[in-house]
Amino acid sequence: MDSSINLRIDKGLTRWEDLDQNILKSIFNLVPSTDLFRNVSRVCRSWQLACLDTLFWSDSKTLDLSCFSDTSKLKNMIRIIMEGNDAYGIPLESWRQSISKIVIPFNLVLSDCLLFIATRTPGVESLSVLNLDCLKMEDFARAMSYWKNITHLAVRSRQWRRNIASIDRWIEVIGKSCPQLRTLEFHGHHCNLIIGGKVALTIAKYLTKSTTLRFRCAAIEKNAVASIFRNCPELRVIHFSDCRAVYDSDLLILCGSNTFDCRSKGKGEDLEWCYHHGSHDEISFQLLLHLRLN
């Protein structure tokens, strides 16, 4: 036996990798998630399992990949947690079945993993796919066929402006793939998502059961907003965040954040769009855009 090992045994010392998993997890809970994934998990198998436990299995309902940026290494991790055991050797099947929320951030490309995840997490109700750029609609639709219970969906693309027709197609695919959908969030990039009259009609056609719509970093035409209100009978709330309102055909007005209560639409009341501008709220004023519905 090696003399260094004999010395540890004589002094009652153990290796770091032999620490109890609960002690490791208590320590790792104090370490930033990015460091756990990039560095700590590579030390040894024991530390890797404890890292996975801290990153993924501590919340039995959520699979959040927001802290990761290296897609190539993440894919291996995904396969481990989707097919492997936890730090105690217990199969993760029950955990996978219990996942109700998945968050895939904008900096990850998981086009070839989405279906792999979907087939193993049938209980998902809330899904955020914030990078559609490298994801084919057919692959997205196939994955969604395993997620029949989704009520909340958030999607984002950097390429909306390149092909306006694709927005309509995405809305159609989402509407057909998510029969239980109630809340839909569209995230653009530097207002490259344009919501005009045609898109508004597509929303009304395929998102008939939606009660909440959220638009972030989008360019919204005034008439499109009115059309959505008129033609979406189940809609209760429509929210705009960091959007631009297309007003008087060509004037773009920055809109900080606003929520419209659609339950008043049948009363023929005016809807007001508030405009906030300024650095750290030093300057603030309102420009009310009245959208008359009658």
Q: What are the distances in angstroms from CA 144 to CA 137, 141, 175, 198?
A: 10, 5, 11, 25
Domain ranges of the chain: 150-292
pLDDT in tens, 66-92: 777 666 667 777 887 788 776 667 777
Q: What average pLDDT does range 118-133 have in this prediction?
A: 92
Phi then psi dihedrals of residue 81, to 5 deg = -80, -20
Question: Could you report the per-residue pLDDT of 42-58, keeping only the tens digit for each?
Answer: 777 777 777 777 777 66
Q: How many whole angstroms separate alpha carbon 145 and alpha carbon 76? A: 24
Strand partners, 260: 238
Q: For the segment 108-121, what is each residue's pLDDT rounded down to a tens digit?
A: 777 778 999 999 99
CB half-sphere exposure, 14, CA atoms < 13 A: 5
